[in-house]
Structures are given as C-alpha cells and as structure tokens.
Amino acid sequence: MDLKNKEEFLLQIFKLVLKSLTIGGGLLMLAFSPQPVCAQNLTVRSETISLQKQLLVQEKWESYVKNFLIDSGSNIQDFYLGQGFTTSTPSKTRLTNFPIIKKDNQDISYVLQIDDQDQIMVSRRLGQSLNTVSKTVSSSPQQPVNIFNSANSMYYKAAGGTPHLLIGHDPLSSDMAKLSEQKSPRSTVQLTAPLAQSHLRAKRSPIVFEHVLLPWRVYEIQHEKPWCEWYAITGVVNNLAGKKLMTAEQMLRNVYHGESIDQLIYNKEHKPRNLAESFNFLKSKYSISVMLNNGFPSFDTVKKEIKERRAPIITDLISSPSNDTHALVQVGYTASTSGRPDEHPYYYYWNPWWEDIFVVSSKAPYFQLNDKRWSIQRYQYNYSKPLE
C-alpha cells in the first residue's frame, strides 16, 4: 500500500472511530444525564368537596397567587390548580386545601386554604412541605396518605407508617394520632390532577398594581415556647438592623430580670406581661419608639409604614372563642391602582409558628390558622432601625 492510500485508509478508520465515540458518548450521556425530579401523583384521603367550593376557588386562586409572582420572573400561566383535599381540626373546623402546581415539572409551589366560611389564605411554606412529601412518600388509591391538623400544626401519615410533621412544631399525642386515623376520610384524590376549569370566566382588563414587599429574613421561629409577641418584635428589630441583635429569650431576660427560663415560659406566678415594659426596653436600648393602636390598621397606615417608612407592622390577634393570643408581622401589600371599589389590597404576613409568609385579602375578617380563628385586636407600628 503506497503512502497516499495508507493515509486515506487511516483517515477512514479515524472517522469510523470518531463516529462510534460520538454515538457511544451520546448514549452514555443519555444514560447518565440527570432526569428532572417531578412531584409524584400524591394520593391523599379527602371528603367530598362541594361544587360551589370548587367553583369559588377556580374564580379566586389566580388573584391570590399573583401576589407571590410579582417580580419573580414567573406568571400565572405557568401554574395550574390541582385537586383539593380536606383536613379537619380538633375543633371540627373543616379546611379545604388546593395545591397550586407548576406546569413544567408538576412541583407543588403553593397551597390555597379555604375554610367553612370561605375565607382564603395562600401559603408558600405549606406548598413546599407538601411537595417534599409528594417526592418522598409512595402513595396510591389503595394506599393513600392521611393529612390532618393538630393544634397549630399539620401532620401526614403514609399507609402503614407513623405520623410526621408537615408544617409546625406541636408534639402529637398518641390519642390524637389514633383519633385522626379513625376519623380519616375513606375517599381519595390525586393532587396533581388538574381541577376542571370553568369556561365561563370573564376576561379582565389588565390591572396596574402597587406592590411593596419588604425583605424579610427569618432569624428564629417560635417552636413550642409561648413567646409569639417577642418573636415578632425581635424579628422586626433584627430585620431593620440587617443582622441578629437579639433573640426572643434574650429580650425577655432583659425585660424581666432575674426570672428563670421556667418562669418565662410558664409564668406560674401570673405576672403581668405588659407590652409597655417591652416598649420601654426598645426605647432605652435601641431608641425605637413603638406606638400601639386598637383595632385593624387602615390601608393608609399600612402604606405609610411599609412603603414610606419601610417598617413592618405587628398585628396582635385574639382567638375565638378561646381568647388565646398570637402575633403576626405584616411585611407587605399589593394594591390595585385602578380605583375600582371591587379591587381591594392583599396583605403579606409572617407567622412565627411556621417560618412562612402567607397572603390574605385585606377584607378578611379573621385568619383561620389551623385549629383556631384569629381576629386582629390591635397593632404595633412606628418601628425604626435600631441605634446601637
């Protein structure tokens, strides 16, 4: 074989080897390239949901979820409404939960929760937790997951398994676990199946929104300690400082000198916990002059504090009929600029229990947080950056 023919022969061999490597490499890449992880078709127990409730949620869900999508790079067309499921609380309040699901990967991104009186809230944290369950727990119509409420928490239980926390931090008694299993619904739903959409939805003209959501970092959450007021206060102070200045426990120890941790938690002596003492501490330590008003803050107050002063508002709640107390932090709002009377603002709140920011209508007369119904009793405002 002369030199020219040898070169042509070697060139053909090289092309064949290169082609086989390319094909083989392609096969190897196909075999070993990571596949996207999608939410499984999570099947859960549920009672029958009325058609009226389903139609109401179909009408309302977009207006709530849009508040999470502003400035996110996503739009409402990227999501769909999944099948709802019911959960009951120890007080026999029935909550209905609808997953909001990302179309491209079927991840559960949010959960819309609606109570017996049709009050709605949307939670991102609950959506994330439910999505984790959908990816890690096997389920089917024959082996559905049971989801139930207990105190300020939600639990899930796979078929043949033990209950695990879905959201919250409350311990679960064995009696409550047995009761939840005995009273769990027999019917099942597959959450990622889309809820049939109404074809009668009217087209709406574009609405211009004023959207203000303060940056919010969670430095600590409440867990089991009954200090929601001080978790809210220190959360506001730390966020305005841009760093962790103090914990709720540290603030309480400064306000109530000499008390043990048991005294601070259980307060067996029933010592009055007057907010004035905490406000005096903030004034002397950080030059923060907090103001307190009864009732629900007006939208003008919300706008002035959150937009102009860039300061959160603390809302103090009272439950009905038990008269328990809780505190939330309002960190933002979205309001239409159209001037139409039917376009009311939506409010963003941080709940120290759940490490969650949720959205509710400003017209909601109460918050249904798991087992209890809470109303705003008073609010704290005029927080400012602490001076060290």
The pTM of the full predicted model, rounded to 2 decimals, is 0.78
d(C-alpha 282, C-alpha 237), whole Å: 9
Residues 6+ apart with CB under 8 A from 29: none
Return the SS3 of 169: coil
| Between 75 and 273, residue with greater pLDDT | 75
pLDDT reported for residue 274: 79
Is the pLDDT score of 186 beyond 50? yes
What domains sit in the chain, N to C, each tagged with a CATH number? Answer: 43-190 (3.10.500.10), 209-381 (3.90.70.10)
Q: What is the mean pLDDT of residues 110-133?
A: 92
pLDDT reported for residue 141: 92
d(C-alpha 109, C-alpha 111), whole Å: 7
Q: In DSSP terms, which residues pair with 232 in a beta bridge?
A: none
Q: Tell me the pLDDT of the chain averaged across its residues.
A: 83
On whether the CB atoms of residues 345 and 299 are closer than 8 A, the answer is yes
Q: Is the dihedral of CA 350, 356, 357, 362 positive or negative?
A: negative
Q: Is the dihedral of CA 138, 142, 144, 146 positive or negative?
A: negative
- When mean pLDDT is compared across 35-44, 84-93, 135-144, 279-288, the lowest value belongs to 35-44
Q: What is the mean pLDDT of residues 360-386?
A: 90
Question: What percentage of the chain carries pLDDT values higher than 90?
Answer: 49
End-to-end CA separation in angstroms for the chain: 90
233-237, 250-254, 338-342 — most confident range: 233-237
pLDDT reported for residue 88: 78
The DSSP element (H or E) to which 364 belongs, if any, is: none
On whether the CB atoms of residues 46 and 147 are closer than 8 A, the answer is no
Is the pLDDT score of 21 beyond 50? no
d(C-alpha 319, C-alpha 370), whole Å: 12
Q: At 149, is the pLDDT very low, low, confident or very high (cuts 50, 70, 90)?
A: confident
Is the pLDDT score of 343 beyond 80? no
**Using only C-alpha atoms, what is the Rg of the chain?**
27
CA atoms within 13 A on the CB side of 36: 6
- When mean pLDDT is compared across 54-68, 133-147, 282-296, 334-348, the lowest value belongs to 334-348
Q: At 10, is the pLDDT very low, low, confident or very high (cuts 50, 70, 90)?
A: low
d(C-alpha 383, C-alpha 237), whole Å: 8
Q: At 278, is the pLDDT very low, low, confident or very high (cuts 50, 70, 90)?
A: very high
d(C-alpha 253, C-alpha 136), whole Å: 42
Could you give the residue ranges of the DSSP H alpha helices within 2-114? Answer: 3-32, 51-69
Q: What is the mean pLDDT of residues 144-149?
A: 91
pLDDT reported for residue 207: 58
Token digits for 23? 């094909």
Is the pLDDT score of 143 beyond 70? yes
The DSSP secondary-structure symbol of 82 reads B
Q: Which of 184, 233, 232, 213 is nearest to 306 (CA)?
A: 213
pLDDT reported for residue 306: 97
Would you tell me how many other CB atoms lie within 10 Å of the CB of residue 308?
9
